[in-house]
Amino acid sequence: MKTIDFHNDVLPLKDKLFRLALRITLNGVEAEDITQETLVRVWEKRDEWHQVENMEAWCLTICRRLALDYVRKNELRAEKEQDVANFQLSVAGSEAMPDDALDQRQRVEAVRRLIDQLPEIQRTIIELRDIEGLRYDEIAHVTELTETQVKVYLHRARKKIRELL
Amino acid sequence: MDYKYIEQLLERYWECQTTLEEEAILRNFFRQADIPASLLPYRDIFQVEEEMAEVRLSDDFDKRLMERLEVKEEEEVAQCQTISITQRLRPLYRAAAVVAVVLTIGMAAQQGFNRNDDDEAAQQQLTAAENQSDTLQLFTDMPEVSPQTEAVLAPVSTDTLLIQ
């Protein structure tokens, strides 16, 4: 059995954890705190590492639970999307963009806003599948759903996005 | 270029029937600059997702995390040391408790024996005293002896016995 090392196996997951927390909370500062808390809890549970089959899915599950706790306490809504936009890497400044590119930028932002306004479970599954590239069984593990349920939610999310395009 | 394959993949993508490899093909396709007009609208979703995938934590995150873990580790070590000393002394505490219990039982038993001996002695003394008292009572209660009886009971000299 592979021995898991925190620095080599767990710490590299930090950005995935952060993106998931950000997708759920729509708040960059909180997402960073949740990411740190997730890694601390994973470190505290190092006696259980040998029992974990999929460390990435396990860490994402812990992260999601913490993020959901935060959302329940604070009842955040999609008006926080501006915080999310601030944490996105700016591909190109909009001021100097030609009209076509500006139009495309605006369309891209419209799609981003739409994703941020999806129900949490749909946002989470879009994040895990389309951005992090997880398999359906892994997503089912993280979200504590069945694979069928995962596909149903993903279908609904992609359908909404397609209607916008 | 025949974009039919891409269109088929897209249709399956919306129905959530694509594999991860097929979705990677779609992403790679929509990354390129030359996209046909009919497929251009779909580029936005893949571009958004690509930007989302590039989000990273701040540079000092690792440093802050490690500082927090170091504090936790120190707390755990301190806790382990306390527990270790306690655990080491535990057998000694057990042994002392056992000795105390044995001594207590022994002393209680010894007191019990002593009490029994005293009781027996006291009982014997009491019995002896009672017997003595009874004996005294016998003499006290003896009826008066007639002179004739007394004479019979009186010690007889040997001369008298010889004459008879």
Contact A85, A94 (CB under 8 A): no
pLDDT at residue B157, rounded to an integer: 47
Residue with the bigger pLDDT between B102 and A101: it is B102
Q: Which CATH architecture has domain A96-165?
A: Orthogonal Bundle (1.10)
Distance CA A125, CA A154 (A): 6
pLDDT at residue A94, rounded to an integer: 43
Distance CA A58, CA A62 (A): 6
B163 pLDDT higher than 50 = no
Region A112-137 average pLDDT: 95
Cβ-based neighbour number of residue B111 at 10 Å: 10
Contact A162, B14 (CB under 8 A): yes
Segments making up each domain of chain B, as ranges: 4-53, 64-121
In chain A, which residue's Cα lies nearest the Cα of B13? A158
Full-model pTM: 0.69
Q: What residue spans in chain A does CATH classification 1.10.10.10 cover?
A: 96-165
B95 pLDDT higher than 90 = no
Region A86-102 average pLDDT: 51
Residue B133 — φ and ψ, nearest 5°? -65, -40
Region A133-141 average pLDDT: 96
Residue A36 forms contact with B (CB below 8 Å): yes
Contact A28, A77 (CB under 8 A): no
Angle B142-B147-B149 (CA atoms, 0-180°, nearest 5)?
65
Least confident range of A69-73, A100-104, B15-19, B35-39? A100-104
Average pLDDT of chain A to the nearest whole number: 86
Look up residue A73 and give its amino acid. K
Residues near A36 by beta carbon (within 8 Å), at least 6 away in sequence? B61, B64, B65, B68
Distance CA A151, CA A24 (A): 19
Fold assignment, A1-77: Rna Polymerase Sigma Factor; Chain: A (1.10.1740)
Residue A107 forms contact with B (CB below 8 Å): yes
Selection from A22, A147, A149, A20 nearest residue A84 by Cα: A22
* Residues of A in Cβ contact (< 8 Å) with B77: none
The C-alpha of A123 sits at a distance from chain B's nearest C-alpha, in angstroms, of: 12
pLDDT at residue B51, rounded to an integer: 93
Region A77-86 average pLDDT: 51
Residue B74 forms contact with A (CB below 8 Å): no
**A87 contacts B68? CB cut-off 8 A:** no
Residue B47 forms contact with A (CB below 8 Å): yes
Confidence tier at A103 by pLDDT (50, 70, 90) = confident
Structure letter (DSSP) for residue B31: H
Confidence tier at B83 by pLDDT (50, 70, 90) = low
